[in-house]
Amino acid sequence: RKEVEQDPGPFNVPEGATVAFNCTYSNSASQSFFWYRQDCRKEPKLLMSVYSSGNEDGRFTAQLNRASQYISLLIRDSKLSDSATYLCVVNGPRYKSTFGDGTTLTVKP
């Protein structure tokens, strides 16, 4: 079993849809959590950090559930430009970062 697991998708949604991704992790000692987006053949770009209290950045909402060991990303009012692969990363302990294999989102007109 992988330390960090994501549904690979692909998720194909129409513009304006709401879509949610989950990511589960196995190490209960993990310390911090982030979402990244990666466009085809480009580097990952930091999207947002994830806290137990939840955090929101415009159309994006991230949430951490420590008890169930998963993090989520919600995208509202999807845009064509949201099409990308979304990677979750789980950090720690001991300065180790573990990425999931990503969930691919395609937003269609």
Partner 1 sequence: ETGVTQSPTHLIKTRGQQVTLRCSSQSGHNTVSWYQQALGQGPQFIFQYYREEENGRGNFPPRFSGLQFPNYSSELNVNALELDDSALYLCASSPRDHPYEQYFGPGTRLTVT
Q: Which residues bind partner 1 (CB under 8 A)?
A: 4, 31-32, 34, 42-46, 49, 87, 89, 91-92, 94-102
Q: How far is the CB of 27 from partner 1 (least distance, A)?
A: 13
Q: How far is the CB of 108 from partner 1 (least distance, A)?
A: 22
Q: Provide the 10 A C-beta neighbour count for residue 28.
A: 8
Q: How far is the CB of 20 from partner 1 (least distance, A)?
A: 19
- 25 close to 71: Cβ distance less than 8 angstroms: yes
Residue 56 or residue 77: which is nearer to partner 1 going by CB? 56
Residue 23 or residue 75: which is nearer to partner 1 going by CB? 23
What residues have CB less than 8 Å from 53, skipping those under 6 apart?
none
Residue 18 or residue 26: which is nearer to partner 1 going by CB? 26
Q: How far is the CB of 46 from partner 1 (least distance, A)?
A: 6
Q: How far, in Å, are 2, 37, 102 from residue 25 at the CA level?
A: 8, 18, 13
For 53, half-sphere exposure in the C-beta direction (CA atoms, 13 angstrom radius) is 1
Q: Provide the 10 A C-beta neighbour count for residue 74.
A: 15
Residue 20 or residue 46: which is nearer to partner 1 going by CB? 46
